[in-house]
Amino acid sequence: MIEALEITLEKPFFVADWHVDPSLGRISRGQKVIKLEPKVMMVLVCLAQEAGEVISREQLESTVWADRVVGYDSLATTIIKLRKAFEDDSKNPQIIETVPKRGYRLIAAVALVNPANNKKITESLESTASVFATSEAKIESTKSHFRLNSMTERNKTLFWIATASVMFVMLIIAIVYIANVNNRNVDPINGKLSIAVLPFKNISNDPQQNYFSDGMTADLITDLSRLSALSVIARNSVFAYRNEDVDVRKVGEELGAQYVIEGSVRKVGNEVRISARLIDSRNGYNLWAERFDGTLNNVFALQDEVTARIVKSLRVTLTETERTQLIHKYTNSIEAYDYFLQGWQYFWNMSREGNPIAREAYLKAIELDNTFARAYANLALTYAYEYLNGWSDDPKQSIMKANEYANKAVRLDDKLSQVYWALGIIQSYSRNYKDALETSKKALALDPNYADGYGLLATVLNYAGKPKQALDAMAKAMRLNPRYPSIYRMMRGEMNFNARYYKKAIDDFNFALDSNPEVQEARLWLAAAYVYSGNIEDAKWQIDELLGLDSKLTLASFEQVIPLNDPTQRKHLIDGLHKAGLK
C-alpha cells in the first residue's frame, strides 16, 4: 500500500510527471496544459488520496455526486475524460486502472509539489464536494429554468424561430435554381447534383440559441433531401464541421459535394437576419449570396406566402409529391417547435443523462400540440434507447411505450420519413422484422437521399439474418453520409460479425470505440469477435472493462434485448461472450 498523502482540492500535486493544480482545474506537463471539469478533477483527487488502493464506484459517486442520483455512465464518462487528459491507454494503463466488479485504482506515483511546506487541510473532501454539488445544482436549476420555464425570454424568441424557419425554406428557391442552371455538375454515382449544407452559425451573442440554429440547419437539409434532383449530404457528415472555420474546397472534396451552402443567423431587437451563400466547391467562387431580413410579426401569413412562391418558382422541377412535402408544416405551434429543437439537441447526445431531458422537452412539445408527429416519433426513440441500453427498470414497459408513440406518430403524419425511421428502429428492437423491413422501405420511398433510412434497412436485414445484404445497404448509407458517425461503424461491425468477417468486425468496433468509448454494445460485440479470431486475452479484457463500468451486466440481460432472429447467429454471439468471460 502506498503511503497516504494529504491530497486536497486546494493544493497542487504530481501524478507521475503531470502537475495537477485542483484550484485552477488543470493538469500540465511541459508546455501542455489541459483544463479539467470540476467533477473530473474531484474524481482525480479522490483517486489520488487513496493512490494504489481500489476505490469503488459507490465511494466515488457518493463523494463526488453527493446527494444526487446518477447513472453508471456519469462516472464512466469522467474516467474516460481523465484517461484522455493523461494520454493513458485503458488497455495498458499507466495512470488509472479499472478493477473489474470493484472500481478504479490510481496506479501512477503521486507526490506533493512541496511536501515540506504543505499545510494540513482541515476541511474534508465531502465538504468540498458539497460545495461543488451545490454549485452544480444551481447551474442545473438555471439550465432547467431556461430549458422549460423561462417563458418571458421564450416569448421574445418564438417569432424569431418561426421567421427564421420561413427564411430557411426560402433558400430552397435559390439553391435549386442555381443547381438547375449549373446542371453540368452532377454526382458521378447517382447522376444528381450534390449539395452540402454546413451548420449555420449563431451570431446572436446568445450561446443558448445554438440548439435553434442547429435544428434549423438540420431541417433545411431534410427539406432539400426530398427533392429528387438533388443529392444532399447527411446531417452527421456536415455537423462534423460545426464551429470550425473551413475551406469549402476541402469540404467539397471530403464530402463529394459540388456545392456548399454556409450562412449565419442574427437577431437584433425585433429584426432577424439570415445570411447565406452558395459556393462552387471546386474553385471556391460564390455563385449566389443573399441576406434575408424579416420582422417578428405575422409570421404564419408570411410562411404561407413564401411556400406559395416556392411552389410557383419550382413547378418545373418538382413532382406533385415534392410540392406537397415542401408546403408541409411539422407543427403550427412555434413554442412546440422550440421545445422539439431543444429535445433534439439533448437526444443526439445519446447519453443516459440527456435521454430524460430530451423526453421532457418532447412531452412539452406534445402538450402544446398533440398532433406533432415528429415529437411523438422522437419521444418513442427515448424509450427505445432506454430499452436497448439497459437504462430502464422495466424494459417491457419501455419497449411497449416506444411502440405506442411511434405508431401514433405515423397515424398523425404518414408523409414524414423520420417517423417511419423511428417506427422501423423500434419494430426491429421488438423483433418484428417483416414489419420493420416494410417500414424502412416506406422511409426511403419518401426520401431517397435518407442515409439513416439505408442504415435502418441495413440494421433490419442484419437482425433478420441477412448480413451480406445488410452490408450492401450499409455501403449506400455511408456513401450518402461520407462523414458518418461512429454508430455506422458499430452497425457495420455487427453485420461483419454475423457474416463471419471477424477482422473487419474488429476494425469497425475499434473505430467506433475510439470515437465513443462509452458504447457498451460495441464493446460486447468486439469481445465476441476477438474470441472467434483466436484472441481470448483481448476478449477477456473487453469484458473486464465492461464489468468495471457496469457490474450488473450479465449474459442473460444482454441476451434478453439483442434482436437477432436467426437462432444460429444468436447462439454464436452468446457463446462467444460466454467464452470471453461474461456470466
Residue 140 and residue 177 in one domain: no
Spatial contact of 45 and 123, defined as CB atoms under 8 Å apart: no
How many domains would you assign to the chain? 3
CA angle 196/200/202 to nearest 5° reads: 170
> In a structure prediction context, what are the per-residue pLDDT tens digits for the chain, which is 583 residues long?
334 456 677 788 999 989 999 888 889 988 888 888 888 888 999 998 888 889 887 888 888 876 554 544 567 778 888 888 898 887 788 999 888 767 889 999 888 876 444 443 333 333 433 444 444 444 444 444 444 444 455 555 565 555 555 555 555 545 554 555 444 344 444 556 677 878 877 766 666 667 666 766 776 666 666 666 666 776 667 777 776 677 778 888 888 777 777 777 665 555 666 666 777 777 676 655 555 666 544 433 433 443 344 334 333 244 445 444 544 457 777 678 778 878 887 887 667 778 899 999 999 999 999 999 999 999 999 999 888 877 888 889 999 999 999 999 999 999 888 899 999 999 999 999 999 999 999 999 888 878 889 999 999 999 999 999 999 999 999 888 776 777 889 999 999 999 999 999 999 998 888 776 667 788 899 999 999 999 998 899 888 877 766 656 788 888 888 889 999 999 999 999 999 999 8
Stated pTM of the model: 0.55
Residue 119 and residue 240 in one domain: no
Domain boundary among 113, 129, 145: 145
Show the domain range for 105: 13-145
Match 476541402 to its residue by C-alpha cell: 250
Match 422511409 to its residue by C-alpha cell: 443
Domain boundary among 326, 342, 371: 326
Residue 86 and residue 161 in one domain: no
Residue type, 534: G
Closest Cα partner for 528 from 460, 581, 466, 459?
581
Strand partners, 260: 196, 279
Residue 517 and residue 493 in one domain: yes
Query: Can you read off the three cell numbers belonging to residue 185?
Result: 455538375
Phi, psi for 541 (deg, rounded to 5): -65, -40
Q: Which residues of 478-500 are buried (b: 16+ CB within 10 A; e: fewer)?
A: bbbbbbbbbbbbbbbbbbbbbbe
Has residue 568 been placed in a domain?
yes
Has residue 458 been placed in a domain?
no
Strand (E) or helix (H) holding 249: helix 248-255
Residue 17 and residue 48 in one domain: yes
Quick count: other Cβ atoms within 10 Å of Cβ 316? Answer: 7
Residue 309 and residue 178 in one domain: yes
Residue 141 and residue 159 in one domain: no
User: Beta strand 110-112 with 13-15: parallel, antiparallel or unpaired?
Assistant: antiparallel
Match 506537463 to its residue by C-alpha cell: 29
Longest dimension (CA), the chain: 83
Residue length of the chain: 583
Residue 138 and residue 203 in one domain: no
Has residue 469 been placed in a domain?
no
Query: Can you read off the three cell numbers belonging to residue 120?
Result: 494540513
Domain boundary among 281, 297, 326: 326
Residue 320 and residue 183 in one domain: yes
Spatial contact of 203 and 264, defined as CB atoms under 8 Å apart: yes
Residue 164 and residue 313 in one domain: yes
Residue 132 and residue 194 in one domain: no
